[in-house]
Amino acid sequence: MSKLPKQHVSIKKRFKKILTAVDNLGKATRNAGPIDKKTSHLIQLSAAAAIRSEGSVHSHTRRALQAGATTEEIYHTIILLISIIGFPTVSAALTWADDIIIEKKD
C-alpha cells in the first residue's frame, strides 16, 4: 500500500477522531449499495476531477488502482468528463492522475 501524503498524516495526527469518522463514513457509503470498490473509486475520481481537487484525484487514482482498476480505466474515467467539465480541467486531472500512475511504475 502506498505511503499516505504528509498533509493527510498531519491532519490525522491533529484531528484523529474527525479523520476516523470521515474514514468510517467512506466505508459505510461504499458498503451501502451494490457498486463495487473499484467502480466507487472511479466515480469518486470523476467527482474529484470535477471539483479540481488535486489531492483527491491523487487519492482516488491510487485507491482505484489498488482496487484493480487499469490505467486505461483511470484515463477513460477522466476523459469522459471533457464535455461536462471542459478540456482544461480534464487536462489538469490527467496530469494529477499521472503523478500516481508514473509513481506506481517506478
> Is 35 in contact with 57 (CB distance < 8 Å)?
no
Statement to judge: residues 77 and 99 lie in one domain: yes
DSSP 47: H
- What domain range is 15 assigned to? 1-33
> Do 41 and 77 reside in the same domain of the chain?
yes
Instruction: Give tens-digit pLDDT for 24-52.
Output: 998 999 899 999 999 999 999 999 999 99
Count of domains for the chain:
2
| Residue-level pLDDT at 106 | 64
Residue with cell 500512475: 101
User: In this predicted model, what pLDDT tens digit does every residue of 52-106 receive, in sequence order?
Assistant: 999 999 999 999 999 999 999 999 999 999 999 999 999 999 999 999 999 877 6
Same domain, 44 and 71: yes
Both 28 and 40 in one domain: the answer is no
- Kindly state whether residues 52 and 74 are assigned to the same domain: yes
Contact 64, 41 (CB under 8 A): yes
Mark whether 29 and 43 lie in a shared domain.
no
- The pLDDT of residue 60 is 95
On whether both 29 and 51 belong to a single domain, the answer is no
Q: Based on the fold, state whether residues 28 and 44 are members of the same structural domain.
A: no
pTM of the model: 0.86
Q: Cα–Cα distance between 10 and 18 in angstroms, integer?
A: 13
CB 101 within 8 A of CB 71: yes
Looking at the fold, whether 25 and 62 belong to one and the same domain comes out as: no
Cβ neighbours for 69, distance < 8 A, ≥ 6 positions apart:
38, 41, 42
Asked if 98 and 50 sit in the same domain, the reply is yes
Q: Cβ(74)–Cβ(64) under 8 Å?
A: yes
Domain match, 47 and 97 both: yes
Length of the chain: 106
Residues 56 and 88 in one domain: yes
Output the nine-digit C-alpha cell for 58: 491523487
